[in-house]
Amino acid sequence: MATTTASITISSGDLTGDALSLSSTATLTKADKSTGLDQTTGVARKFFASITSAETLVSASEYTADRAHKVYIKNTSTSNSEYINVELGASNITIGRLYGGDWMFIPYNGDQDIDIDTSAVNMTVEYLVIYEA
């Protein structure tokens, strides 16, 4: 049985009136909550030579719907003026904007495509899907 753990730590000395220190860890399990997610696409990078709109990054047709999949997406740009919009479904509802160096880790139901828009030429997006069959 696969065991995959995701962790995040957020800290700041000046974000609030007091120091902030937040840490959380989760074991990534299948929808039945008893066994670990055991499939992955592997970490991949997709290069975009031109500005794109509604480009499919994760295709729902490759995943079973209503499962506990997880998706990691990173804008590898080092420029804080270059961004990608992350969108969900045929209506391309924007769920977030990642500027250079930003990343996200989200749960994914597997019933909608995840698309992206790029703001500049020659951008690379890194991504990974951890899923159950």
Domains and their CATH numbers in the chain: 34-131 (2.60.120.10)
Query: b/e per residue, 65-86, with b = 16+ CB within 10 A?
Result: eebbbbbbbbbbbeeeebbbbb
Q: Is the dihedral of CA 90, 92, 98, 100 positive or negative?
A: positive
- C-alpha 113 chain-centroid distance: 12
The CA distance from 78 to 54, in Å, is 22
Angle formed at CA 74 by CA 69 and CA 79, multiple of 5 degrees = 165
pTM tops 0.75: yes
pLDDT band at 38 (very low <50, low <70, confident <90, very high): very high
Summarised one tens digit per residue, pLDDT across range 43-93 is 999 999 999 999 999 999 999 999 999 999 999 999 999 999 999 999 999
Q: Give percent of the chain with pLDDT exceeding 90.
A: 89
Mean per-residue pLDDT for 18-33?
A: 91
* Strands in 29-89 per DSSP E: 39-40, 44-48, 55-58, 69-75, 83-88
Q: What is the pLDDT of residue 1?
A: 65
What type of residue sits at position 91?
S
Give the residue among 33, 7, 42, 126 at the shortest CA–CA distance from 76. 126
What type of residue sits at position 88?
L
The CA distance from 48 to 118, in Å, is 8
